């Protein structure tokens, strides 16, 4: 993200290392954000805002996916064009069953795994508890015994693994 991006804001869901795009709260798409990782000096940052559902469906037309799959890819990618194309490409040989998670391509899985591995073990454990909940909240995590849930959530947001409701 560059000019026009919210300075210092953490990345959105599964941000693309090339764009650092994120999601406006509650919309599935929205403004571009800065990448949550250090950008080398002299690197040009280009704002690539997340795509709206209809824009993403048009982008995925090349894969010939049914509309329901394009909607699932949009929900899973948060409108991030890089991630949406990677997920769309994963469907070329198999379609997901309705209600099943979108399969992650290996390079996307590796990116996420690296970010998770870089977190302290206590934060990773909190993320695991959150992943098991249908609607995880800081309050729910506290009740589940994660005493430092708010700190762990903040760390995961800073790593670009979660998006806070406040954006």
Q: Which residue has the higher pLDDT, 109 or 117?
A: 117
The full length of the chain comes to 167
Which residues make Cβ contacts (< 8 Å) with residue 72, sequence separation at least 6? 96, 102
Q: Cβ of 157: how many Cβ atoms within 10 Å?
A: 18
pLDDT at 2: 37
Q: What is the pLDDT of residues 120-166, one digit of tens each?
A: 999 999 999 998 988 889 999 999 999 999 999 999 988 888 876 65
Angstrom CA distances, 128 to 40, 49, 144, stand at 31, 29, 11
5: DSSP letter: S
Task: Give the integer Cα–Cα distance in Å for 11 and 30.
Answer: 12
Predicted TM-score (pTM) above 0.75: no
User: Contact at 8 Å (CB) between 80 and 50?
Assistant: yes
Range with the lowest mean pLDDT among 71-80, 90-99, 149-158? 90-99
């Amino acid at each position: 993200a560059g000019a026009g991006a919210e300075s210092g804001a953490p990345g959105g869901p599964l941000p693309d290392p090339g764009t650092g795009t994120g999601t406006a709260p509650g919309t599935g798409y929205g403004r571009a954000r800065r990448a949550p990782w250090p950008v080398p000096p002299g690197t040009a940052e280009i704002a690539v805002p997340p795509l709206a559902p209809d824009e993403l469906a048009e982008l995925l037309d090349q894969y010939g996916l049914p509309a329901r799959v394009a909607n699932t890819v949009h929900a899973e990618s948060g409108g991030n064009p890089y991630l949406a194309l990677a997920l769309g490409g994963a469907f070329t040989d198999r379609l997901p069953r309705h209600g099943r998670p979108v399969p992650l391509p290996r390079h996307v899985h590796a990116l996420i795994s690296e970010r998770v591995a870089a977190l302290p073990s206590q934060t990773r454990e909190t993320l695991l508890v959150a992943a098991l909940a249908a609607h995880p909240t800081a309050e729910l995590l506290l009740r589940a015994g994660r005493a430092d849930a708010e700190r762990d959530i903040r760390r995961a947001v800073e790593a670009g693994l979660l998006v806070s409701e406040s954006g």
